[in-house]
Structure 1
């Protein structure tokens, strides 16, 4: 029997002033301190962002442990540089400028994409699940497409932006989809079709390189994995591990369907866009769209449908109890979007939002 696929997670974080919550451009300093502590920290597009990457894991327990260690370690490095680490999809406090990290690639992106590149500070979470090859990654991607809005709703963590309520659980996802290569990918029937689409974007200049294929699920450019990029960075490590567990179980289920000769449903682009908008607007607490039939359904019920669908994989992985407990905790306490709103509405103070996020980041 084939061994379950391995999994890894990348998380992007904000660095903010511990007194005001304003983004601060200290990622180079924090990364240098992290390197001295043995932590490999990547610089993100703006100087107020850093990114962590886990090792490859075969168990969710091991993944959860490392995610927790990474957050605590990077938070300590940030503190040494008079900065606070926040797991938030977008900066909740106003910021006049988010300077671009000074690397040749980032500077070129900033030059070519104008204000779109400068209005960043957007932090996501990327889950990598091992697959045999690119063909398998694309076939699995088609099975993942219908569930992308649900993953987004579950992890939404960007309801406050620049000091105001956005009216969206995930405003990050709305801002992110302005990029020409972002959002849900088309349904691809072959590697040739995928490569042709990427070559078209390169030839038109709407992406500068293959790393700018920002679709929410794609064959990884760097690793032998399928990469799911749809979610805000979750508020807590448990929510990140929950997302990874659900994604890995969905990938396993898709591969078994493919081995049995079953094909992924072809979801119309307009239906998927509608499902995305509902997920970004209402998160896990409202109605979502079942992309397969286009009908409204409470997102919590849609989550139950996913759990039922991937239950055999969760059992095989030994993740069913963790997933059930993590979902129960999230529903009772709220994901990052709800926690931000609750903190802001209590007194109307942005400092309360920053405090809530900082606590959740290390929870």
Structure 2
């Protein structure tokens, strides 16, 4: 029977960021199956982090190494971005951010030829191709296994904030979905998605893992598609609800937000998470996916309803001293300014479509924005 590996040591508050990105052709800006060619070209370069394939062959994932700050994350993502753009230019394709491609047809996608992806395709059928969606994952280092679980459940209160600030997937299959983040609807279709079980000790979590693997439902931690999951091999928790932003600057800012929250939790122990926090979790998550920064947020302690945007701004003000100490002040400032304006990437995409009335042109402009020239 599989066993849960020990929780590794990591430096508290260190960061790691993964970005899943779109590869598109430059004649009609549909997805293009060029991940092998991109991996071959990127493999010749000396770069931080890593570049790997994803579920379908029009996707590619870049990852930073272990970073100390949002600025460190931005530095590594910028190097990776610039290399990707140069390699894409050689292939006459473009690299684009965003949580969904606005008009790709999922049935045309090809599963990347890798044993795990073939296995998932056999198990999940058409859901595997529908998983051609693009997310940002942020890892944050934790002092110990027990503290990682406490941090995970504290962080869960801020899942709606993460969704609304990163939302960049309003379009699916050529249609405006009315959601700011439609991507998470695809993730939710998987049976092991949702939230982690409520336990605040690693012994308790190990007991859950052993029961689950005994049933044969899962074989390893990779089989859990939770919104936040522990990553024992890295000594981190991994937040998985972010849509891939349209720029590496926003991706780094979101990492700065996670780091600042984690610092607040570790230094001030602001509240003790309880199972009842999750009574409003699904509602808050839906609100953020559907309405983005215009969502309603239900406070899990008081049950009070308030605009999510207001709660985001309150939270960012609260985090400011920790952000300054960590060098994440500019990241928090960027997010606060956008929250004040009700601006996220989903809004930008809709504005482009309202102006152009042509989704391929929206994708082209998204590619320019990712390059840093649009």
Output the TM-score relative to the length of structure 2: 0.89
SS in 2 for 1:180: coil
Match of 1:78 in 2: 88
1:163-182 to 2 correspondences below 5 Å? 163-182=174-193
Deviation at 1:309, TM superposition (A): 3.2
Q: How many residues align?
A: 359
Is the Cα contact below 8 Å between 2:145 and 2:201 reproduced in 1? no
- Whether 1:190 and 2:201 are equivalent positions in the alignment is yes
RMSD of aligned residue pairs (Cα, Å):
2.1
Residue 313 of structure 1: CA displacement?
Answer: 1.5
Contact 1:16–1:22, Cα closer than 8 Å, also in 2: yes
* Contiguous gaps of at least 5 residues in structure 1: none
8 Å CA contact retained: 1:145, 1:217: yes
Q: Supply the distance in 2 between the matched residues of 1:155 and 1:173 (Cα, whole angstroms).
A: 12
Deviates more, 1:271-280 or 1:297-306: 297-306
Q: Tell me by how many angstroms 1:307 deviates.
A: 1.4
Pair 1:225–1:147, CA change in 2 (3 A): same
| Aligned counterpart for 2:356 among listed residues 333, 339, 347 | 347
Structure 2 residue aligned with 1:46: 56
CA offsets, 1:5-63, max 9 Å, x none?
21121111011112212111111110111011224311111111111111222122222
Structure 2 contact 309–339 (Cα < 8 Å) conserved? no
Corresponding residue of 1:7: 15
The 1:169–1:362 alpha-carbon spacing in structure 2 relative to 1, beyond 3 Å, is same
Give, in whole Å, the separation in 2 of the partners of 1:205 and 1:17: 41
Q: Work out which of the residue numbers 35, 45, 67 in structure 1 matches 2:77.
A: 67
Pick aligned residue for 2:32 from 20, 24, 27: 24
Question: Structure 1 CA distance, aligned partners of 2:185 and 2:312?
Answer: 22
Q: Where does 1:237-256 land on structure 2 (aligned, <5 Å)?
A: 237-256=248-267
Q: What SS does the corresponding residue of 2:194 show, helix, strand or coil?
A: coil
In structure 2, relative to structure 1, the CA distance for the partners of 1:116 and 1:208 (3 Å cut) is farther
Aligned residue for 2:367?
358
**Residue-by-residue CA offset, 1:124-157 (whole Å, 9 max, x unaligned):** 1111111123222111101101001111111001
Indicate the residue corresponding to 2:4 in structure 1: none
| Alpha carbons of structure 1 residues 196 and 4: separation in structure 2 relative to 1, 3 Å | closer
Q: Which residue does 1:328 correspond to in 2?
A: 337
Aligned residue for 2:67?
A: 57
Q: Deviations over 1:242-281 (max 9, x none)?
A: 11111111111112244x9x52244443410000000000
The answer to whether the Cα contact below 8 Å between 1:184 and 1:217 also exists between their aligned partners in 2 is: yes
Contact 1:290 1:302 in 2 (8 A): no
2:3 counterpart residue number: none
The reply on whether 1:156 has 2:164 as its aligned counterpart is: no
| TM-score, scaled to structure 1 | 0.92
Q: Return the match for 2:287 from 278, 291, 306.
A: 278
Structure 1 pair 357/175, CA: closer, same or farther in 2 (3 Å)?
same
Q: Equivalent residue for 2:240?
A: 229
